[in-house]
Amino acid sequence: MYKRAFQKRVEIAALLAGLTLSGGCGQDSGQSMQPGLSEKETAQALSDTGDWQQCPAGQLTDYLEEEGTGRSYAYARILIAVDGLGQDSIDRAKAVDVREGTAYISWQAFQTAEEFETYYFAQELADSQLPQECVAELAYYQYQLEEDDYAVDIYRYLNARYGSREVPIQASSSDEKSYRLSQLNPTLVTRELAVRDRVLYGLEQRDALECVLQEPVKELILNFGRQKLQGRGNAGWAQRATPLSEEELYWIDHEERITTFKDPDRCFTEVGAVEMNFGMRWGRFAMLKEADYHVVLQEGGPALDIHFAFQKEIPEDGFETRLYNRLCMSEPYEMRVTDQDTGELLQKMVVEMSIEVPDMITFADYDGDGYLDMKVDMPTHWNGKRAVVDEFSWMDYYLIWEPDEGVFVHRDKREIQQQGESVMYDVQPGDTLWEIAERFYGMGARYTKIEAANAELLSENKYLMPGVVLEIPAQ
């Protein structure tokens, strides 16, 4: 539906939130609840078209669960009146739990998504015609999602339409397939959305007048989302649901992601994996399954297709791994090098690469022979953000092209130095000449060798800035 939403029918799917249910109103809805409204006020509150039913507000979620069962598209307008309160009892109302009031419910059911969306947006724009005391208005709805209604798209749409910097829509989940989207705003709208079994449920505050405190209404809506997400009898556990980032939301209902870049042409295929620590799941992340590079090593020279494929089996429910202290771990990938022109397989070997950072190979002439070589970064990063750390830079290694043999050969920094050729080094955040000398020569005091080789470049830069390319002379 969200695909349609951006084609004019997108708007409704995002608005739905989730009630949890645990009981039912029994079948007393025909009994008079004696709310604290006069007959005239009650008539005014229920004056719009539709059949009204009534239920103790404390049993509202159970009632909605029962009535909603079997309906693909449904909308319910809910008025909650606090029993025993009149216009002169506003102060007393502040101490009354809204669950002690009476809920009046008017249902609308629809056969198609189009009918539901038309009705919903008409209700969203309509002005409330409620008495000015002791009534809160809520809206409940449920919507059958389509295959291309994705969690991350719903989340982004809701934040674009309703969120703000102060009160954004927040996502959370207590299992791998269900999720909840919450917005708790003390001054404007409070809404809870929950998706379970591909059905989007919603409960939101449409109006809460002076005599009904915001907090009781907010708590009613909040508990709805918690219970709907977790199921009957587990609301306490659901309160500990894990916050979700957009990346984690993406992997709730996607199986893979393909990303392409230019210069050089490269393509990455990622799948959802599960981070494990001490036997507990800490959420999903994007794991590199395959990578393809298309490069020309020398003008008029070899044009290669280089393919990397993850070597371990990936189960259908996701690969599980422990990311040490949330830091990226390396895994084996098979590298296949093919001549673009002839299709001939030139080389096959296994290399170590990060499973969580796809674009970690850079091409440059590291050994000075006129052909491009590969440097494989071994980064560490926090919460999925790439940030190469000095302490781990020694793990970087090179795949040097040997033109006579027509293959790449594994080399580390010192091996390249021992070949008697200078290499080029991209300065990383926090680098100093002393540390770079330690890295390449094993002795920080030899930084003067690097300083001399780059005298002109360093004279133009007061500080050693990230991104500067230094020449590292041979030992």
Q: Looking at the structure, do residues 177 and 34 belong to the same domain, yes or no?
A: yes
Write down which residue in 411, 439, 460 finishes a domain: 411
Six token digits for residue 423: 């290499």
pLDDT over 60 at 254, yes or no: yes
* 458 and 317 both lie in a single domain: no
Residue 264: cis peptide before it, omega within 30 degrees of 0: yes
Q: Say if 67 falls within a structural domain.
A: yes
User: How much is the average pLDDT of 47-63?
Assistant: 74
Does one domain contain both 216 and 363? no
Please state the domain count of the chain. 3
Please tell me the predicted confidence (pLDDT) of residue 326.
Answer: 61
pLDDT cut 90: percent of the chain above it: 23
Residue 248 counted as domain residue: no
Q: What amino acid is encoded at 409 in this protein? A: V
Do 112 and 54 lie in one domain? The reply is: yes
Asked whether residue 250 is domain-assigned, the answer is: no
333, 217: one domain: no
Partners of 425 in the beta sheet?
Answer: 470
Does residue 272 surpass a pLDDT of 80? yes
pLDDT of residue 424: 82
Q: Is residue 32 over pLDDT 70?
A: no
Same domain, 119 and 236: yes
Question: Which pTM value belongs to this model?
Answer: 0.70
DSSP-assigned letter for residue 212? S
The predicted pLDDT at position 155 comes to 94
Residue 249 within any structural domain of the chain: no
Interacting residues of 104 by C-beta distance below 8 A, sequence separation 6+: 45, 46, 52, 53, 54, 78, 79, 80, 81
For residue 312, tell me if it sits in a domain. Answer: yes
Tell me: pLDDT of 187 over 80: no
Residue 384, Cβ neighbours under 10 Å: how many?
Answer: 16
For residue range 399-413, what is the model confidence (pLDDT) as tens digits?
A: 999 999 999 998 876
Where do runs of H (alpha helix) occur along 343-423? 413-418
Over the stretch 287-328, which tens digit does the pLDDT of each residue have? 999 999 999 999 888 899 999 999 999 887 778 887 765 666
Out of 60-64, 105-109, 170-174, 212-216, least confident range: 212-216
Helix 214-230 and helix 60-68: axis angle, to 10°? 50
> pLDDT digits over 223-249, tens only?
888 777 765 434 343 444 578 889 889
**Whole-number Å distance between alpha carbons of 241 and 104:** 31
Whether residue 100 is contained in a domain is answered as yes
The length of the chain is 475
Contact yes or no for 226/235 (Cβ under 8 A):
yes
In this structure, what CATH number is given to the domain that contains residue 462? 3.10.350.10
Q: Which residue intervals of 246-321 are DSSP H helices? A: 246-250
For residue 366, pLDDT over 90 is answered with no
| pLDDT of 299 | 87
**Residue 320 vs residues 277, 359, 405, 428: alpha-carbon distances, Å:** 10, 21, 39, 31
**Over the stretch 134-184, which tens digit does the pLDDT of each residue have?**
577 889 999 999 988 999 999 999 889 888 877 888 888 877 778 999 887
Do 238 and 350 sit in the same domain of this protein? no
Give 215's contacts (C-beta < 8 A, 6+ positions apart): none
Domain boundary (243, 277, 296) is at 243
HEC string for 132-173? CCCEEEEEEEEEECCCCCCHHHHHHHHHHHCCCCCCCCEEEE
Region 103-120: what's the mean pLDDT? 89
- For 381-396, what is the mean pLDDT? 48
**Side chain identity at residue 158, one-letter code:** L
Say yes or no: 361 and 223 in one domain: no
Per-residue pLDDT averaged across 251-263, rounded? 92
Lowest-confidence segment of 11-15, 63-67, 420-424 by average pLDDT: 11-15
Among 216, 243, 270, which residue terminates a domain?
243
Report if residue 342 sits inside a domain. Answer: yes
Domain range for 466 is 415-475
Give the DSSP H/E element, type plus range, for residue 366.
none
Residue 346, SS3?
Answer: strand
Indicate if 192 and 337 belong to the same structural domain. Answer: no
- Residue 384 binned pLDDT confidence (cut-offs 50, 70, 90): very low
Domain presence at residue 70? yes
Question: What is the rounded average pLDDT of the residues 35-53?
Answer: 52
pLDDT for residue 151 = 93
Mean pLDDT, the chain, rounded, equals 75
Same domain, 153 and 287: no
More confident residue, 307 or 253: 307
- Work out the pLDDT band at 124, boundaries 50, 70, 90: confident
Structure confidence by residue, pLDDT tens digits, 412-449: 766 665 555 677 888 888 888 988 887 777 677 788 88
Q: State how beta strands 319-321 and 265-277 pair.
A: parallel
The yes-or-no verdict on residue 89 having pLDDT over 80 is no
Query: Quick one: 183 and 212 in the same domain?
Result: yes
Q: Are residues 386 and 458 in the same domain?
A: no
* 305 or 379: which leads in pLDDT: 305
pLDDT given for residue 102 in this prediction: 79
**Count of beta carbons in the 10 Å neighbourhood of residue 34:** 10
